[in-house]
């Protein structure tokens, strides 16, 4: 049946008369609060306080209470001496792989699968991931996340994305694996490619943040500043050179509401389950592989081969090659390894930034591959360029400041 334009308008009017009721819209306090959170002048201070609260609760719960308060004592004071005493074959290579350094007095430095591996996975990362996803689920259910998306929409358009890119970006701060999947909420191939590349390179996961909080609490702000700057700088460049479209988007902003605990616990269970199934085995596996590489002398050989690049161009000690290889398996382990290498504060900052922008961890790598091998190759090409130029640039900045 074909309708003329007039008939179509009449039909629209008929339908709308049946389904719409007209009246005067009365703003509620919730509406007014909602408006405040999306206007830049008032929304930015609110975003700052939300992020402040997020980080403060994250670091005091995961760092002060769980890791420092209980897990360090449990692992260093009880578990490590026990496993060192009962594990057979002290001095042998199996002992080295599973228990690590036989004279280590803390799990950070032992570097065995059952010592550092378990400590990092259970004692550091698990509480960090738990509190991160709990707060994330709260913010989603309260209705703040869509408002944050509206607030940051203009900034993200500068790098070829739109406000909803904040969702994978923040998810990646928990774990890059679900974040790569979340890039599907973006419309075009160009947007998904830019988002995946940026989050794989510049966004440290919750595990890494937890370790950074333990290892370099006083410098973590500078590391994050470098990463945020790099995120937008290379996002801007990618937007200019990657072909494709970056369309506008209409965002549905729901009213603020009380969170439902059933919903939150379900989300938390699902995300924690995913982490335990995917990330924990990689932590343990990563520990074993790195130990094998040390035992076979591969890392010493690589350290010697790559020393001119590491010390000359990046300004970090040659020994950092070990953590850089470990970073491919688990970035959190790599940061923990950096802790035992002797270097200055500024070399440490550069090293942590390098570990962050270095290859995505293997779990993320697999997820990127699932999204298409062309995307993966493109991301890797960008990554190599970024690590070479950005890593070198940081060294130049330290030299110009005269602090290296």
Min separation Cβ 303 and another protein, Å: 34
Q: Do residues 73 and 105 make contact, with C-beta atoms less than 8 angstroms apart? A: no
Site membership for another protein, residue 92 (CB under 8 A):
no
Residues 6+ apart with CB under 8 A from 210: 62, 63, 67, 124, 125, 127, 128, 332
DSSP 3-state of 111: strand
Using a 10 angstrom Cβ sphere, with 0-12 exposed, 13-18 middle and 19 or more buried, the burial of residue 2 is exposed
Min separation Cβ 73 and another protein, Å: 7
Of residues 55-74, which lie at the interface with another protein (CB under 8 A)?
A: 55-57, 60-61, 64-65, 68-70, 72-73
Min separation Cβ 124 and another protein, Å: 15
Please tell me the distance from the alpha carbon of residue 353 to that of residue 87, in angstroms, as a whole number: 36
Size of the site for another protein (CB under 8 A): 28
Please tell me the distance from the alpha carbon of residue 99 to that of residue 155, in angstroms, as a whole number: 48
The continuous run of DSSP H or E covering 17 comes out as helix 5-19
Min separation Cβ 29 and another protein, Å: 6
DSSP 3-state of 231: helix
10 Å Cβ neighbour count for 72?
18
DSSP 3-state of 219: coil
Of residues 192-251, which lie at the interface with another protein (CB under 8 A)?
A: 221
Min separation Cβ 273 and another protein, Å: 26
Min separation Cβ 65 and another protein, Å: 4
For another protein, the closer CB: 52 or 236: 52
Of residues 16-45, which lie at the interface with another protein (CB under 8 A)?
A: 27-29, 32-33, 35-36, 42, 45
Give the binding site for another protein (CB under 8 A): 27-29, 32-33, 35-36, 42, 45-46, 48-50, 52-53, 55-57, 60-61, 64-65, 68-70, 72-73, 221
């Amino acid at each position: 049946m074909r309708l003329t334009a007039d008939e179509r308008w009449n039909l629209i009017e008929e339908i709308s008369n049946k389904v719409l009721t007209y009246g005067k819209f009365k703003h509620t306090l919730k509406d007014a609060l909602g408006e405040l959170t999306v206007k830049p002048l008032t929304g930015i201070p609110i975003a700052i306080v939300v992020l402040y609260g997020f980080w403060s609760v994250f670091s005091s719960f995961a760092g002060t209470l769980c890791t420092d308060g209980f897990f360090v004592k449990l692992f260093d004071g009880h578990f490590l001496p026990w496993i060192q005493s009962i594990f057979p074959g002290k001095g042998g290579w199996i002992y080295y792989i599973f228990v690590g350094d036989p004279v280590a007095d803390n799990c950070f430095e032992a570097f065995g699968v059952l010592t550092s591996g378990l400590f990092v996975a259970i004692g550091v990362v698990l509480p960090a991931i738990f509190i991160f996803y709990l707060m994330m689920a709260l913010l989603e259910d309260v209705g703040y996340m869509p408002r944050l998306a509206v607030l940051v929409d203009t900034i993200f358009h500068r790098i070829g994305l739109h406000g909803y890119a904040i969702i994978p970006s923040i998810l990646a701060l928990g774990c890059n694996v679900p974040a790569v999947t979340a890039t599907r909420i973006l419309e075009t191939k160009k947007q998904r490619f830019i988002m995946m590349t940026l989050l794989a390179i510049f966004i440290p996961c919750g595990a890494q943040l937890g370790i950074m909080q333990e290892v370099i609490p006083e410098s973590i702000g500078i590391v994050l500043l470098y990463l945020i700057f790099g995120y937008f700088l290379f996002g801007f460049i990618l937007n200019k050179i990657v072909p494709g479209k970056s369309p506008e988007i209409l965002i549905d902003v729901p009213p603020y509401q009380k969170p439902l605990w059933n919903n939150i616990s379900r989300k938390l269970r699902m995300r924690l389950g995913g982490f335990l199934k995917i990330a924990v085995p990689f932590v343990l596996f990563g520990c074993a592989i790195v130990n094998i590489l040390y035992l076979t002398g591969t890392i010493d050989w690589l350290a010697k081969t790559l020393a001119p690049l590491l010390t000359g161009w990046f300004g970090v000690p040659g020994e950092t090659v070990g953590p850089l290889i470990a970073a491919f398996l688990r970035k959190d382990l790599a940061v923990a390894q950096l802790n035992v290498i002797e270097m200055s504060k500024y070399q440490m900052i550069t090293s942590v930034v390098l570990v962050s922008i270095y290859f995505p961890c293997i779990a993320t790598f697999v997820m990127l591959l699932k999204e298409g091998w062309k995307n993966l190759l493109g991301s890797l090409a960008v990554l190599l360029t970024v690590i070479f130029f950005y890593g070198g640039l940081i060294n130049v900045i330290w030299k110009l400041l005269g602090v290296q």
